[in-house]
Structure 1
Amino acid sequence: MADAVEAGKVAAARRAVDENIKKGQVVGIGSGSTIVFAVQRIAERNKKEELNLVCIPTSFQARQLIHEYGLTLGNLETSPEIDIAIDGADEVDDDINLIKGGGGCLMQEKIIASCSKKFFVIADTRKNSRVLGTTWRKGVPIEVLPMAYKPVQLKINQLLGGNAVLRMASKKAGPVITDNGNFLIDWEFEGVQDWMAVERVLQNVPGVIETGLFLNMTHVAYFGSPDGQVLVRTRKN
């Protein structure tokens, strides 16, 4: 099963990179397991074509990948406008809205996506859903200030129902700490949601820094299957 899932990720990554990455671009590099295959493909092409890319990382992991594969590392101070960004997703709905943040890098990922002229995601076919919450059952990740995590939990539960859970670390005592030194809350929900309304509510809760809802941001999504086939979906509006 693991090999089949990986084959889908590789197929999606290679096609997306080959269709979108051009010489001289500023490229946002996302985070997660699928992005590893995208960076590998970018590096393969860079050796043959000298792409002269500037790569902007969304996380410590992305920065390490850029270094490991010999690509040029940039930042938003010197390159505030990004030509294209590539990232993964925890789930994608019919309108190509996303839940992201399972890996804890949602704030940097959303900043990079918002600075990009084109934003596309790559994933295996398990992430392709009709509505959010169908296959991803771990909730909406929300980055919060550590001092505010408890009142944020209470406020979210009061305003939206469901269950706002502080994400705990698996290999250290205590909560997961983001690259920015913050905590993560996962809002577990039931049923179909008005996601624009949910986003407005969450963004207005003091202590919330960013959410893992990426709404009307993604231009194209690539889903790879174990047999190497890739489904390409483009945002309708």
Structure 2
Amino acid sequence: MTGELSPIDKAKFVAAKRAVDFVEDGMRVGLGTGSTAAWMVRCLGELVRDEGLKIKGVPTSTRTAALARDVGIEVISLDEARWLDVTIDGADEFDGDLNLIKGGGGALLQEKIVATASDQMIVIADVGKEVETLGAFPLPVEVIPFGWQTTKALVEEMLISMDVLGRNTTLRMIGDHPFVTDEGNHILDLHLSRIGNPRQVAMVLNQVPGVVENGLFIDICDTVIIGYGDGRVQVRDINDGTVENGRLDFAESDNLFTDLTE
């Protein structure tokens, strides 16, 4: 079945597979949202089923919660967990300082809350997600539906004074209707091309009335695990300043890969 996976999916899988090595029995684990995080949830489910791993998972979206339950992971709320040992999630972009853009899947609010309620945040990504400067991926900003057009105008006005290349802002749509997050909000996608000062943009955005949260994750990620299509894996720890290189040889099992929804 290995030959049926594209190089990008192989890269996502090996990053996810390496990440679950950080999970120990009895841990409370934040479960991210997105295609790469889905591989991780499946890998954890395999450990729960085949090796008796006992963990409690706090999902960052309704779809992650459904997948976690499907693969046998005990799901609890963040209020029940109160604090987490580790959160494992994907990213749309990350830079050399392990600052992130997240929210391509629309779950940035819950993802940021869960990540900041954890002792450690591990990001899993294919090598294509690494950038020198954040901003090529549109920056998601979650806004309340009431007065969203006014909020959009205020955001665009704020961007004039920011160190960014572009200022085009669009409302995320699903067909003919606005995308709605799990919290009942909308998403503005900011097409900035380059963000010269992510910390400043993140701080100023959250001062705009109507903005709930933005997709810039600054000083939150501790470790990034980068997967390659040939099975290589690199683990970078921003706190220890270490870089570990390895390779993961794997055989795809029917249980792990059947009916995986991205």
Q: TM-score range by the shorter chain?
A: over 0.9
Deviation by residue 1:92-147 (Cα, 9 ceiling, x = unmatched): 0110000000000000000000100000111111101111124x2xx110000001
User: Match for 1:231: what amino acid?
Assistant: Q
- Give 1:78-227 correspondences, 5 Å limit: 78-134=80-136, 136=137, 139-161=138-160, 162-170=167-175, 173-227=176-230
Picking from 53, 56, 63, the partner of 1:54 is: 56
Q: Using the alignment, how far apart are the partners of 1:113 and 1:133 within structure 2? A: 21
Instruction: Flag structure 1 segments of 5+ consecutive residues without an equivalent.
Output: none
Structure 1 residue 159: Cα displacement: 1.2
Tell whether the 8 Å contact from 1:81 to 1:115 is kept in structure 2 after alignment. Answer: yes
Residues 59-78 of structure 1 correspond to what in structure 2 (within 5 A)? 59-78=61-80
Q: What is the CA-CA distance between 1:77 and the residue it aligns to?
A: 1.7
- CA deviation after TM superposition for structure 1 residue 48, in Å: 3.4
**Structure 2 counterpart of 1:56, one-letter code:** V
Identity of aligned residues (%): 38
Distance 1:73 1:5 in 2: 29
Give the secondary-structure state (helix, strand or coil) at the position aligned to 2:7: helix
RMSD over equivalenced CA pairs, Å: 1.5
Could you give the per-residue CA deviations for residues 139-178 of structure 1, whole angstroms, max 9, x where no partner exists?
Answer: 11000000131111111111113122111113xx221111
Q: Secondary structure at the match of 2:174?
A: coil
TM-score of the superposed pair, with normalisation by structure 2 = 0.85
Q: In the comparison of the two structures, how many residue pairs are matched?
A: 231
How far, CA to CA, are the matches of 1:113 and 1:76 in structure 2?
A: 11
Q: Supply the distance in 1 between the matched residues of 2:25 and 2:148 (Cα, whole angstroms).
A: 44
Q: CA deviation at 1:47?
A: 2.4
TM-score w.r.t. length of structure 1: 0.93
Corresponding position of 2:38: 36
CA distance in 2, matches of 1:159, 1:222: 34
Cα deviation, residue 2, structure 1: 6.7
Q: Deviations over 1:20-67 (max 9, x none)?
A: 100000000000011111111112222233221010010011101111
Contact in 1 for aligned 2:152/2:188 (Cα 8 Å): yes
In the alignment, structure 2 segments of 5+ residues that lack a partner are: 161-166, 241-262
